[in-house]
Amino acid sequence: MKRAVYAGSFDPVTNGHLWMIREAVELFDEVVVAIGVNPEKHCTFSVDERLDMLRAVTRGFSKLRVEVFENQFLVNYAQSIEANYIIRGIRTASDYEYERTMRYINSDLHADITTIFLLPPREYAEVSSTMVKGLMGPQGWEQVIRQYVPEPVYRRLVAYHERQQAALNND
């Protein structure tokens, strides 16, 4: 069985992430989408919220499961779930440099796990969770980000922004 893991913070999941997931599901017998918890990284959404969003947007995939891992290297997590492959996205030259280095380190740790790089199409090449969150706030932001995230995520982002605005107005 060809099992792959596609990991990220997914804070929030974007259409670029969803493209990666669709491609991985076509290539492998099973795909594990794993939320990596990094205690040093500040996330907008809790792990449970990110799980909910990922499950909502991947509901239609039968060869996929969503999990969480923390306090371990991705390659060790991949080995623990018997994944043969790690899926990584390359959007920019700096992504390539970083991911190439990680691929070699992962190979040093577990030579039996292969890293597969996917290049998203141009419409997703600049899309990241950080970019989406950075667009929130100015007048009309809702229409701008709508094209970059799946509908369940869009609704979460709008609700999050409304909570933030309400909290500011109460101060």
The b/e string for 29-68 (b: 16+ C-beta within 10 A; e otherwise) is ebbbbbbbeeeeeebbbeeebbbebbebbbeeeeebebee
126 is an annotated ligand-binding site residue:
yes
133 is an annotated ligand-binding site residue:
no
88 is an annotated ligand-binding site residue:
yes
59 is an annotated ligand-binding site residue:
no
110 is an annotated ligand-binding site residue:
no
6 is an annotated ligand-binding site residue:
no
163 is an annotated ligand-binding site residue:
no
Task: State the virtual CA torsion across 78, 80, 84, 86 in degrees, nearest 10.
Answer: 0
81 is an annotated ligand-binding site residue:
no
What residues form the annotated binding site for substrate?
9, 41, 74, 88
What residues form the annotated binding site?
9-10, 17, 41, 74, 88-91, 99, 124-130
What residues form the annotated binding site for ATP?
9-10, 17, 89-91, 99, 124-130
